[in-house]
């Protein structure tokens, strides 16, 4: 009797999974895990703005398959991201995942490997995120890509003594590491590196300490969404009036926060992968459509979502709708296209993004603050991986 019951239950399960498999044949399920609440909500909003715009523009059918997005909020907590990924893989049987910030991407990587689920990293800027699983492909950026370039630029443009203020987590550590190496190699001196907690930061005491150290330049990394508060406290402490130059990766003048900053931020020079003012027809159309759909200016984070969906759609076209994990990741390798940020590609060796890095200066254009690009470093790879390869 018991044995019969068990056999019946097993048969039911098999039937259920068979019908799921039949359904899955016409539907591609994409589990989207992003930080929609918690510390980095601003990041989640931008990346979803990009995802939703891409789907609005390109429809929800690719290679004859219906695209189904299952959107989940990791609440900016890596353990939650991990649990959600598990549920999406086991219960929802998703064909692909997309991940957000670094701690969440790290938490999801082992599951992506186990289940052979292609996972597009839409936010994380930490070099090693793509190395945590052979199924991870990045469409965002790395902090190293930007920080080495601004380090060299700063020395060439008169910076000699720098204080670093760094948000204390993995991407911040990499910004500091790559900037420090490049800046010292070019002949500059780092006076001090000050680390600010990621959660609920108050930059004021750190800014005061930085000011007391009397540098000619401040190199700063804070994540998108914290740049507004940072700029306010920078201005309130009068660092601009003390004649201290502010430089950093693009995060500190991100297009989402920038419109609400004051004139103290004018003249800030950053190395970034995207400006809403980037001069191309593709970008003009992107900014207009993004604002219309999402009611805000797109920032560099939004492109990880928009281009991340492009990678998924193009890979599905290449495989003819085949959702095998290895086939999809292989199809993603080497993709090359024109993004609103400029020409970009997926490095076939590292599955990491290759993109232009622009040097930009904050100026007013038509009454609004923008990052105005004035120099371009084409096709920049993640320097931390490049150094490992060379060694
Ligand atoms: C990251 O998760 O690595 C990250 C998030 C926001 C940023 C930069 C890096 O602005």
The preferred substitution site among 40, 43, 103 for testing ligand 1, maximizing ligand atoms within 8 Å of CB, is 43
Q: Residue 21: what pLDDT?
A: 53
Task: State the virtual CA torsion across 79, 83, 71, 321 in degrees, nearest 10.
Answer: 120
Among 311, 382, 296, smallest CA distance to 58 is for 311
- The verdict on the CB of residue 225 being under 6 Å from ligand 1 is no
Q: Is any ligand 1 atom within 6 A of the Cβ of residue 248?
A: no
Please state the pTM of the whole predicted model: 0.93
pLDDT score, position 13? 44
- Predicted local distance difference test score (pLDDT) of residue 37: 98
Ligand 1 atom at minimal distance to the Cα of residue 100 = 2
For atom 6 of ligand 1, the residue with the nearest CA is 223
User: What per-residue confidence (pLDDT) applies to 25?
Assistant: 72
What's the gap in Å between 140 CA and the centre of ligand 1? 9
Is 67 a pocket residue for ligand 1 (Cβ < 6 Å)?
no
Residues whose CB falls within 8 Å of the CB of residue 174, separated by 6 or more in sequence, listed in order: 125, 126, 127, 142, 143, 144, 147, 384
Look at residue 12 in the predicted model and tell me its pLDDT.
Answer: 41
Q: What's the average pLDDT block by block, 10 residues per block, for the chain (391 residues)?
A: 52 46 76 98 98 98 97 98 98 98 98 98 98 98 98 98 98 98 98 96 95 96 96 93 95 96 96 98 98 98 98 98 98 98 98 98 96 98 91 60
- Give me the pLDDT at residue 22, please: 47
| Spacing, Cα 102 to ligand 1 middle (Å) | 7
Residue 223 Cβ inside 6 Å of ligand 1? The answer reads yes
User: How many whole angstroms from 27 Cα to the centroid of ligand 1?
Assistant: 31
- Nearest residue by C-alpha to atom 2 in ligand 1: 101
pLDDT of residue 7: 56
What pLDDT score does 257 carry?
96
């Amino acid at each position: 009797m018991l044995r019969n019951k068990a056999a019946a239950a097993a048969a039911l399960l098999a039937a259920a999974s068979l019908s799921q498999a039949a359904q899955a044949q016409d539907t591609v399920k994409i589990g989207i895990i992003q930080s929609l609440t918690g510390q980095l909500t601003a990041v989640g909003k931008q990346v979803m703005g990009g995802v939703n715009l891409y789907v609005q523009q390109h429809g929800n059918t690719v290679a004859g398959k219906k695209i189904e997005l299952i959107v989940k909020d990791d609440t900016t907590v890596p353990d939650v991201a991990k649990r959600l990924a598990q549920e999406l893989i086991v219960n929802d049987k998703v064909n692909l995942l997309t991940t957000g910030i670094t701690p969440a991407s790290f938490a999801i990587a082992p599951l992506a490997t186990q289940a052979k689920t292609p996972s597009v990293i839409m936010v994380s800027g930490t070099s090693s995120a793509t190395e945590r699983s052979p199924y991870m492909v990045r469409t965002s950026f790395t902090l190293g890509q930007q920080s080495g370039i601004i380090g060299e630029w700063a020395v060439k443009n008169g910076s000699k003594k720098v204080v670093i203020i760094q948000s204390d987590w993995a991407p911040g550590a990499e910004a500091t590491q790559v900037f420090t190496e490049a800046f010292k190699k070019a002949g500059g001196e780092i006076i001090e590196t000050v680390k600010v907690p990621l959660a609920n930061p108050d930059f004021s005491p750190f800014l005061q300490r930085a000011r007391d150290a009397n540098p000619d330049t401040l190199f700063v990394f804070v994540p998108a969404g914290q740049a507004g508060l940072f700029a306010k406290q920078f201005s309130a402490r009068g660092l601009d009036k003390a004649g201290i130059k502010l430089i950093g990766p693009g995060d500190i003048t991100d297009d989402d926060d920038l419109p609400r900053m004051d004139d103290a931020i004018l003249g800030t020079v950053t190395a970034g992968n995207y400006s809403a003012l980037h001069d191309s027809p593709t970008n003009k159309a992107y900014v207009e459509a993004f604002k219309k759909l999402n009611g805000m200016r797109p920032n560099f984070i939004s492109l990880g979502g928009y281009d991340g969906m492009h990678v998924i759609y193009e890979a599905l076209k290449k495989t003819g709708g085949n959702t095998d994990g290895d086939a999809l990741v292989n199809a993603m390798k080497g993709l090359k296209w024109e993004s609103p940020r400029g020409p970009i590609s997926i490095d076939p060796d590292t599955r990491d993004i290759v993109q232009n890095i622009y040097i930009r200066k904050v100026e007013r254009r038509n009454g609004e603050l923008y990052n105005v690009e004035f120099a371009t470093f084409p096709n920049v790879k993640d320097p931390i991986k490049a150094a490992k390869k060379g060694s």
